[in-house]
């Protein structure tokens, strides 16, 4: 059930901010994330925790917060589905995203809401983040001029993502109706940012407003190495989805660049003898009309079928297959 808005909110005196926190087996961290939101001086705000079928202590640690946080108990379906469930239950004019293992710094919501109200052309606002782990802090990464997501920057961000999810606030009316792509195994947030920024401006706040936690439970090293293949397929599908919303010259330029990047990623997997993923990359290149030498396609396909070849987990392969555009 959606919470009722106050008269002040309905009259537009202060916009409601919906905070979306997806979590899956992050019982060790989610309370710290929630506390960092409760400590924000901005009101009114609603906090929605989408529990993606956690099997650890998450349910127990969320118990004391049921009077201040709306908890959605979901069947495990991935972060995209969890975020979409939270969006479906959100009331806010603005939506702010926080991963369950990250933290916000004081004043984040107030700073971003004020900035977005001053700039109605802005659909997405983000900031610097400070990486850290259990051993201490690390210097924040500062995007260079060619990487900065500020102003009209869709093509720039299409090529490189400089937007940290836990620093992001989006104007609700700028969100696409479908929300996040639930069948993408990773980069769902990246795809959504790109879709928003092909219609709206971005606003970058050069101030650390969030902290990004590094820990062993995150994406494995192998998945990170395969990220360019995920990203390439996500970009190609996004170009198909946006269609006429992008001028033909820009679309053709981005498509050619994406196919080149996907080819490089597929060959990187091939030369590293990761033949299953190389074969998938080559297959998708062919599907999008980009030729690959026959001997390489056959070699990758045959080698990943040889006895003794260690294949990736089936859920990874199936997830990649789900990215194939439907006819």
**What is the pLDDT at residue 220?**
43
Tens digit of pLDDT for each residue in 158-204?
A: 998 889 999 999 999 999 999 998 877 667 888 899 899 999 999 99
What's the pLDDT at 200?
Answer: 94
Distance of CA 217 to the CA centre of its chain: 17
Please say whether the beta carbons of 59 and 30 come within 8 A.
no
Q: Rounded to two decimals, what is the model's pTM?
A: 0.83
Q: Which domains does the chain have, with CATH numbers?
A: 7-213 (3.90.550.10), 221-321 (no CATH)
Q: What is the mean pLDDT of residues 2-30?
A: 73
CA 23, CA 78: separation in Å to the nearest integer?
Answer: 9
Highest mean pLDDT among 1-5, 27-31, 146-150: 27-31
Q: What pLDDT score does 201 carry? A: 96
Q: Phi, psi (5° rounding) for residue 52?
A: -85, 55
Residue 239 pLDDT > 80: yes
Other C-beta atoms lying within 10 Å of the C-beta of residue 60 = 9
Instruction: Name the DSSP class of 253.
Output: H
What pLDDT score was predicted for residue 202? 97
Sign of CA dihedral 304, 309, 314, 315: negative
CA distances from 21 to 92, 99, 121, 188, 301 (A): 14, 6, 26, 15, 40
Which one of 79-83, 228-232, 279-283 scores highest in mean pLDDT?
79-83
Q: What is the pLDDT of residue 315?
A: 44
Tens of pLDDT along 251-275? Answer: 999 999 999 999 999 999 999 888 8
Each residue's pLDDT tens digit, 294-315? 889 888 888 877 776 666 543 4
pLDDT on residue 173: 95
């Amino acid at each position: 059930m959606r919470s009722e808005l106050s008269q002040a909110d309905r009259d537009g005196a202060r916009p409601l901010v919906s905070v979306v926190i997806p979590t899956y087996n992050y019982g060790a961290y989610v309370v710290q994330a929630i506390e960092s939101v409760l400590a924000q001086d901005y009101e009114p705000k609603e906090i929605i925790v989408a529990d993606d079928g956690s099997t650890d202590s998450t349910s127990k640690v969320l118990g004391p917060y049921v009077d201040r946080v709306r908890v959605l108990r979901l069947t495990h379906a991935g972060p995209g589905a969890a975020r979409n469930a939270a969006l479906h239950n959100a009331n806010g004019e603005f939506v702010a995203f926080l991963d369950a293992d990250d933290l916000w710094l004081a004043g984040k919501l107030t700073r971003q809401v004020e900035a977005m109200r001053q700039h109605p052309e802005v659909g997405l606002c983000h900031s610097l983040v400070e990486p850290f782990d259990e051993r201490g802090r690390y210097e924040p990464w500062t995007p260079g001029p060619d990487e900065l997501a500020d102003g009209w920057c869709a093509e720039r961000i299409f090529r490189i993502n400089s937007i940290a999810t836990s620093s992001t606030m989006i104007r609700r009316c700028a969100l696409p109706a479908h929300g996040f792509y639930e069948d993408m195994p990773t980069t769902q947030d990246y795809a959504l940012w790109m879709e928003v920024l092909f219609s709206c401006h971005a606003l970058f706040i050069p101030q650390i407003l969030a902290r990004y936690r590094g820990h062993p439970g995150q994406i494995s090293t192998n998945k990170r190495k395969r990220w360019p293949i995920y990203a390439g397929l996500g970009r190609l599908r996004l170009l198909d989805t946006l269609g006429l919303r992008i001028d033909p010259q820009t679309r053709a330029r981005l498509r050619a660049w994406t196919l080149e990047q996907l080819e490089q990623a597929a060959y990187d997997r091939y030369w590293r003898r990761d033949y299953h993923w190389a074969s998938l990359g080559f297959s998708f290149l062919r599907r999008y009309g980009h030729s690959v030498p026959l001997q390489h396609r056959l070699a990758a396909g045959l080698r990943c079928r040889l006895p003794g070849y260690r294949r990736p987990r089936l859920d990874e392969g199936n997830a990649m297959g789900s990215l194939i555009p439907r006819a």
